Chains A and B, each alone.
Chain A
Amino acid sequence: MEVNIKDVVVPGDVAVEIMKSSEKERVILGPGLRRDCDRVLVTKAGVLKRRKPAIFYVDSYQKRYVPNRGENVVGIVTQKAGDIYRVDIGAGELASLSYLAFEGATKKNRPDIVVGDVIFAKLLVASKGMEPELICVDSHGKKGKLGVLSPDGMLFDCSLSLARKLLHPSCQLLTLLAKEQAYEIAIGMNGKIWMKARSVHETIAACNAILAAENTPPAEMPALCSSIARNLLRIS
């Protein structure tokens, strides 16, 4: 079946509009699309979307993470093997994290990381058939926001589409939530979210607000945040 932008698509559909618009500009096929000779076929079920100028992708609901280079992820250190740590980022295999990939780390000055720590890191290598590799520094050797996350926070899983939704610049939820209470948050593109507020009550409330956002349209988000804040006041 032939489909256009903003249509609901299932695998095997042919995206006709993409080939038409490819006269001058460079077309980029994002996740959920593949080229087969002179056609563009859909490989995932969801909504076909376009970002200017010519980036096409299928927005789909997904739980399993497939690593992509340059994405920020939250992971749990599961193993310490020689000079690398093995980190579970929810992908098919464990990612590796060198102890030298931290700010100011040298062979003698090792970072203080133990098994069970939660880490916010960037994917340096993520390609087919290779083990994903994480780093906790940027290209200037600074750690920025990356690194070990405090054990006082709470880690929970969500769908990849929710993580993408929260990270989208137009998403109001985090700003609205910040008006009600103070919190710290690390959202990984792998659908793992670490969160810490002033108290356990507040942390759990904020986590619930985020999980509820999955099925909440943007217009109802202020109502969601204020109802959570009201419930919090009642408890404390």
Chain B
Amino acid sequence: MQNQLETTEEEECVLRPMNCELNQLSRPDGSAMFMQGDTVVVAGVYGPIEAKLQKMMHDRATVETMFSPAKGPPCVDDRAKETVIRETCEAVLLTALHPGMAISINVQELQDSGGLLACAINAACLALIISSISMKFTVAAVSCMIDRESGKLIVDPDSTQIQQARVTFTYVFEGIKKDLVSCHTTGRFSENELMESLEKCRAASQNIFDFYRNIVEQYAIKL
């Protein structure tokens, strides 16, 4: 832990170690278990499947998401996460290719030690990649925070660091030009803080894209 904190000070865009397991679940068309530090999330994707009649759209596929917390029924906060994940995935998918169908993304939290939303979005993106649904680009989510006392910016904080946070940001970037896709913040911050954290997270997101490519490379050997 100590060691990791030191490296965070040296290079500012260091993320916690990432790991993933693919297609562990047999039922979904694609599933990924994604670990970022101690935060673990499983995402499963079904689709394109038949849409429910009241949700069917005649010109594109509907995207449904379900976020389930580690324990208990989903609360308001979880619903908000669900919305962020859904709208991000809608931006990612080429929904016009499957009109009248639905794409269902189920995300299950296993353990939360900071950056849960970012981890959930990354897991969902990996599951979409593995299920071979047509996508415009890949996305990577990075969380960061500003410390209450020191005012220091920490990229990808863990749960102990996050308790000292004045502000938290979660940014989602796309893989082509690294443009911002979606953004979720808590707390009060100035414009400069926003821009500074955005640039740091943008630099850090490259690690996640490299990770995706690595995973696909290992996976593609079988083909």
Name A residues whose Cβ lies closer than 8 Å to a Cβ of B. 8-12, 32, 34, 41, 43-47, 59-64, 66, 92-93, 128-129, 161, 214-215
List, in ascending order, chain A residues with CB within 8 A of B130's CB: 45, 61
Per-residue contact bits, chain B 6-42, to A (CB 8 Å; 1 contact, 0 not):
0000000000000000000000011000000000000
Q: A43-B136, A61-B132, A214-B222 are in contact. Are A10 and B29 (CB under 8 A)?
A: no
Binds A, one of B114-122, B154-162, B182-190, B213-221: B213-221
Q: Bound complex: CA of A49 vs CA of B219, how far in Å?
A: 16
* Residues of A with C-beta under 8 A to B58: 129
Chain A residues with CB under 8 Å of B50's CB are 92-93
With A45-B130, A62-B131, A161-B223 known as contacts, the answer to whether A11 contacts B47 (CB < 8 A) is no
Q: Which residues of chain A are near B98, meaning CB under 8 Å?
A: 66, 92, 128
Chain A at the B interface: SS class:
loop
- Please, which residues of chain A bring their CB within 8 A of the CB of B47? 64, 92
Select one of B30, B46, B135 contacting A11, CB under 8 A: B135
Chain A nearest CB from B22 CB (Å) reads 9
Please count how many residues in chain B sit with their CB below 8 Å of the partner chain's CB atoms: 35
Q: Which 8 A-B pairs have the closest CB atoms?
A: A12-B137, A62-B132, A11-B135, A43-B134, A64-B29, A129-B99, A12-B175, A92-B48
A12 lies within 8 A of B101 (CB): no
Please tell me if B49 contacts chain A, counting CB pairs below 8 Å. yes
A134 to B163 Cα, complex, angstroms: 59
A43 to B46, CA, bound (A): 17
Q: Which of B197-223 contact A (CB under 8 A)?
A: 212-213, 216-217, 219-220, 222-223
Contact status A47-B220, CB under 8 Å:
yes
In the complex, are the beta carbons of A47 and B94 less than 8 A apart?
no
